[in-house]
Structure 1
């Protein structure tokens, strides 16, 4: 779940019945991405799966890039490539790698740390204030990650999968800050198309050398297609529409829904249990995110 923000004037959420519907739909879509990764990651391998995801997501958004191509001269593309690696290619790879080794709920819970990591990176490198309340929220969130990393799923240690998921969320936090400072003013859908396209091109040589040597099951192809078209391309469009209507701060509340839907779908369709450790870690992380958002308000 990679995001780029461009604040715009918006209507209060309470005045538009579409807002809670769109937030729930987006939470369900991004929650389902961890289910699709869990299904497709092993047959494809992380590199091939992420390449399919990036390419399909870029194709959905390319019309927006074409329309705004004058705003993306050649001199801008090295920076776009860097942001693409930090905000899309590497985090997607880390989550796909984790999906091969842990239940879908683990990645979904780790993803919620993006909000906290965004605040931490802004404080460490861009001089933004963090405050005592938000600092406390960060500590509680990190405690949740530690709790999750020390747990087991089906008797298997998931520590490294948690490290991968938390690292992906950290990179998302770096990426959000880079986008905010270097792509401000550019059409967000076009910027997303540019970064997804750059990420797909960066990974293409590695994906070609790591393409599956055995036939990929139909269910894995369907999951990979849904991951690219639905959870990347179309989800970005829905997210930007929310930002335009209610602003980035309110739109970011979708963070609370992603782990819920991620765990629910994994339980319904893959029979993956939600362990007490997952519940405790999820409660700590989501609680810290809620506290952080309240502190910002």
Structure 2
């Protein structure tokens, strides 16, 4: 994405919409032949799907393209390593899950790796 899509003056929202729209069209074409049951269209399920698709996947794609455009592909790939850390912190805060020594060491290791990639990027700017 960093080489072929970003940096060409196309807004991240348009890149995301095009990619997700193409995927939706391809899946719609394959759905009748995939051997799956036909879905039951309930209002709550369709609403949930639209909200999760727009806010979850759609926003994530826009932010990913934005990070690639602003900071480069390395920074964008490093962001995915931070998601488990956020999940552990949220689990600790809201679900009172235990944070073990191994989890804390893993968090420290991931943050050290992220720091190293950011320092190297700063040197090459």
TM-score by length of 1: 0.34
Higher radius of gyration, 1 or 2: 2
- 1:95 is matched with 64
Cα separation, 1, equivalents of 2:17 and 2:5: 12
Cα separation, 1, equivalents of 2:38 and 2:112: 43
User: Secondary structure, in 3 states, of the residue corresponding to 1:152?
Assistant: helix
* Structure of greater relative contact order (alpha carbons < 8 Å, 6+ residues apart): 1
Q: Which structure is higher in helix share?
A: 1
Point out where structure 1 has 5 or more consecutive residues left out of the alignment: 1-35, 156-297
Matched, 1:73 2:42: yes
Residues 146-176 of structure 1, C-alpha deviation per residue, up to 9 Å, x if partnerless? 4444541642xxxxxxxxxxxxxxxxxxxxx
Structure 1 residues 133 and 78 mapped into 2: Cα distance closer, same or farther (>3 Å)? Answer: same
- 1:47 is matched with 13
TM-score by length of 2: 0.70
**Residue-pair matches, total:** 118
Residues 167-205 of structure 1, C-alpha deviation per residue, up to 9 Å, x if partnerless? xxxxxxxxxxxxxxxxxxxxxxxxxxxxxxxxxxxxxxx
Structure 1 residues 139-288: aligned runs within 5 Å: 139-150=108-119, 151-152=121-122, 154-155=124-125
RMSD: 2.8
Cα separation, 2, equivalents of 1:121 and 1:113: 12
- 1:281 is matched with none
Residues 210-262 of structure 1, C-alpha deviation per residue, up to 9 Å, x if partnerless? xxxxxxxxxxxxxxxxxxxxxxxxxxxxxxxxxxxxxxxxxxxxxxxxxxxxx
Cα separation, 2, equivalents of 1:61 and 1:98: 27
Structure 1 residues 90 and 133 mapped into 2: Cα distance closer, same or farther (>3 Å)? Answer: same
Matched, 1:119 2:85: no
Structure 1 residues 56 and 123 mapped into 2: Cα distance closer, same or farther (>3 Å)? Answer: farther
